[in-house]
């Protein structure tokens, strides 16, 4: 596998990384394309298959694992598998794009280890675990149980921040967006002065 650069945004669920990734995808000079992951978790109302994720069953996911189709995969929550297909990254590289990922901390660090030179791994830090819980409740895409599961995992995830190339504190969204834009522009060699 070879090609463009890899930009990873990892963070506990609810830290705002998806908002940051979406913002970066709108900046043409960064030449980014989103790596659509495969997941076995249920599709949410507002999500589109093939755009937000490729939604598949647990047995299908396990078949992909057996076939060594994943660059990385993780059972992020129980029975909720998530993974990055090698074919997805190859497809985007073939289009001449830099690939951007919204994935969990373990998957993010795994990709960084595989491609240390061409990867920028960014950790998005929420103000606190309490604030994270408030954000997840506001988002109301998950049940109370699932929110608690995500919050419990967040403390463990926060401890991995020092292993990333960069940390963005998402205390104020506009500042975080600007910081992320500059960081990625520097890494891919794009000029974002006039943006």
Residues at the contact surface with ligand 5GP, assessed by CB under 6 A: 13, 37, 41, 72, 74, 76, 82-84, 102-104, 106-107
Closest CB 151 distance from ligand 5GP, rounded Å? 13
| Closer of 97 and 190 to ligand 5GP (Cβ) | 97
Closest CB 28 distance from ligand 5GP, rounded Å? 24
| Closer of 106 and 192 to ligand 5GP (Cβ) | 106
- Collect all residues with Cβ–Cβ distance below 8 Å to 160 and sequence separation of at least 6: 105, 106, 109, 123
Q: Where are the alpha helices (H) located in 32-166, listed in sequence order?
A: 58-66, 86-94, 105-114, 129-139, 144-158
**Residue 65 CB-half CA count within 13 A:** 15
| Closer of 72 and 181 to ligand 5GP (Cβ) | 72
- Helix or strand or coil: residue 7? strand
184 with 24: CB under 8 angstroms?
yes
Closest CB 195 distance from ligand 5GP, rounded Å? 26
Closest CB 82 distance from ligand 5GP, rounded Å? 3
| Closer of 16 and 83 to ligand 5GP (Cβ) | 83
Comparing every residue's Cβ against ligand 5GP, the nearest one is 107
- Distance set, CA 60 to CA 11, 39, 82 (Å): 27, 10, 12
Closest CB 135 distance from ligand 5GP, rounded Å? 12
| Closer of 4 and 107 to ligand 5GP (Cβ) | 107
| Number of helices followed by number of strands (H, E) in the chain | 7, 9
């Amino acid at each position: 596998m070879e090609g463009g650069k890899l930009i990873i945004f990892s963070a506990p669920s609810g830290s705002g990384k998806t908002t940051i990734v979406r913002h970066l995808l709108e900046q043409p000079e960064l030449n980014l394309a989103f790596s659509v992951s495969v997941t076995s978790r249920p599709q949410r109302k507002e999500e589109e298959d093939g755009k937000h994720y490729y939604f598949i069953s647990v047995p299908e996911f396990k078949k992909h694992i057996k076939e060594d189709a994943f660059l990385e995969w993780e059972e992020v929550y129980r029975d909720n598998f998530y993974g990055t297909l090698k074919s997805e990254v190859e497809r985007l590289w073939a289009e001449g794009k830099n690939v951007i990922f919204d994935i969990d901390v373990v998957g993010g660090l795994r990709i960084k280890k595989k491609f240390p030179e061409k990867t920028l791994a960014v950790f998005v830090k929420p103000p606190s675990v309490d604030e994270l819980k408030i954000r997840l409740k506001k988002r109301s895409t998950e049940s109370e149980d699932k929110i608690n599961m995500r919050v419990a995992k967040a403390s463990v995830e926060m401890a991995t921040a020092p292993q990333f190339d960069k940390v963005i504190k998402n205390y104020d969204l506009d500042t975080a967006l600007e910081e992320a834009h500059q960081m990625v522009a520097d890494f891919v060699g794009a000029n974002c002065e006039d943006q």
